[in-house]
Structure 1
């Protein structure tokens, strides 16, 4: 899974940066999200391998703190970036004429930076005496002790759950607008150019974002719900179940690579263009070596 996450997100970033038509506001959010997933694969997940095999934390306390900090920061950042992406797609669908005035490059950069900053500040609080990083043998990694300190755990839910519910709400609204506008386009003989109706093709990128959001929610909620149930009911969760939910959450960092390729035509075309370019460069290098 680590290998798939690293290679898949490197490929995504290269495709998004290589193609001019993908270097826009939405592409910026996608690159930021891919960077968060890539960082998790490079700096967070490798610390899980040996503990998962040996059943204990084999590294130092400092490594536990680093692993807990980086993993929590990147997971919360991914959730917040998905919320930003949902807001961008909602504005694009609901107010296409005003989209470029609302979602400017500076505003996009501010949203991305604030997502990283909020996640990093919350995850760093144990370094300043509030909360702690603890080894969770069921998850085979160090995490924030959100289920041992009720105030600390409440802060975590206050940061992560509202964006999840908000982006689900926004994507449902996007779906409703899409259906309404599709019916309008189908039955109207002519739509004025000044109308706020969006082109039918604009729904496809929004659909991609909706699938990404749905996948994130499906990957994240089982772990949160199961641990919340365990905390309030005093029932101990089976280790294998917790590890399976953890693995499901981790896998979300790879699924975005598949979703972009399967649902976004523009990304597929850009990926093909990038692969052909890389192939040409490699063939030229082989030819030079043969000479």
Structure 2
């Protein structure tokens, strides 16, 4: 899975940067999301391999702190970037005429930068005395102790859960607008001037990515939350399965985007065939 995550996201980044028609606001969010997933594959997940085989943390305390910091930062960043993507697609569908005025490159950069900063600042708080990094033998990795300190954990939920609910709501609104416009076209056989016909498929791609993220993230969060309030000891195999589901999301993003976005597929073909074309 680590190898697939690394190779898949490197390929995505190369395709997005190589094709000028993909270097737009949405493409910027996708590059940032791929960078977060790539960082998790390079710097977070490799620390899980030996502990998973030996059943204990085999590295230093400093390595545990680094692993907990980088993994949490990148996971939260991915959630916030998906929120940014959902906002961008909703504005493009709901207000297509004003989209370019609202979602400027500068505003896009601020949103991406804010997502990284918020995630990094929260994840770094144990270095300043609030919270801690702990080795979770069921997950086979070091994580933030969000389920051992209720106040510290509450901040995690405040940062992560509202964006998840909001982006789910935005994608439902996009679906609602799409259905409404489809009925209008079907009954009148005319396309409204403000109707971005070619934009619903990219928007649906973002929606599928969001749904996959929610499905990957919520089982682990819900099970640990239930365990914390009921003092139920979760089975180790179940926790590891939920953890694997969460980290696999960094690979499924590559598959979903490449298989459902026609512009990306064309760009990928252009990128792959580039050496032969140049020859």
Check if 1:237 corresponds to 2:234: yes
What CA deviation, in whole Å up to 9, does each residue of 1:71-118 have, x standing for no partner? 000000000000000000000000001000000000000000000000
Counterpart-to-counterpart distance in 2, 1:221 and 1:278: 43
Where in structure 1 are there 5+ consecutive unaligned residues?
285-291
Counterpart-to-counterpart distance in 2, 1:219 and 1:101: 34
Counterpart-to-counterpart distance in 2, 1:129 and 1:100: 43
Where in structure 2 are there 5+ consecutive unaligned residues?
none
Aligned to 2:251: 254
Q: What is the root-mean-square deviation of aligned Cα atoms in Å?
A: 1.0
Aligned length: 279
Q: Which is higher, the Rg of structure 1 or of structure 2?
A: 1
Q: Secondary structure of 1:135's match?
A: strand
Check if 1:107 corresponds to 2:107: yes
Q: Alpha-carbon deviation of 1:39?
A: 0.3
Aligned to 2:269: 272
Match of 1:211 among 203, 208, 211: 208
Q: Secondary structure of 2:273's match?
A: helix
Counterpart-to-counterpart distance in 1, 2:192 and 2:3: 50
Counterpart-to-counterpart distance in 2, 1:251 and 1:64: 21
Question: Runs (4+) of structure 1 moved beyond 6 Å?
Answer: none
Normalised TM-score (structure 1): 0.94
Q: Alpha-carbon deviation of 1:278?
A: 3.8
Distance 1:278 1:228, change over 3 A: farther
Check if 1:197 corresponds to 2:192: no
Aligned to 1:158: 158
Aligned to 1:288: none
Contact 1:181/1:198 (<8 A) preserved: no
Alignment of 1:98-137 (within 5 A): 98-137=98-137
Q: Alpha-carbon deviation of 1:158?
A: 0.3
Counterpart-to-counterpart distance in 1, 2:210 and 2:95: 21
Normalised TM-score (structure 2): 0.98
Counterpart-to-counterpart distance in 1, 2:184 and 2:277: 46
